[in-house]
Structure 1
């Protein structure tokens, strides 16, 4: 499932970093915290690796 916005991609990247132990899980906030808990590492990796070109900053509606 590819990211639909830059913000979603950034949140997935932060969650993936915490999942791998590169950052502390306590530093996660908002969407990245819930993503880390509910998604597998492969799902996070797929979402975080989505190309940013042409993506809106935030998904509306």
Structure 2
């Protein structure tokens, strides 16, 4: 599932880095921590590789 906003894409990237061991999981906060716990590496990779061009900064509710 592709990211819907730049912030969502960046949070997925941070969570993916923690899953790979490139970043400490304890440094994650907010959405990235939730993604780290609930999503697989493959799901995070699909979300993190989303192109940012044309995406809103924040997702509308």
- Tell me the TM-score normalized by structure 2: 0.99
Root mean square deviation of aligned Cα: 0.3
Alignment of 1:1-61 (within 5 A): 1-61=1-61
Structure 2, gaps ≥5 residues long: none
- Tell me the TM-score normalized by structure 1: 0.99
Structure 1, gaps ≥5 residues long: none
Instruction: Provide runs of 4+ in structure 1 moved above 2 Å.
Output: none
How far apart in 2 are the matches of 1:35 and 1:28?
Answer: 10
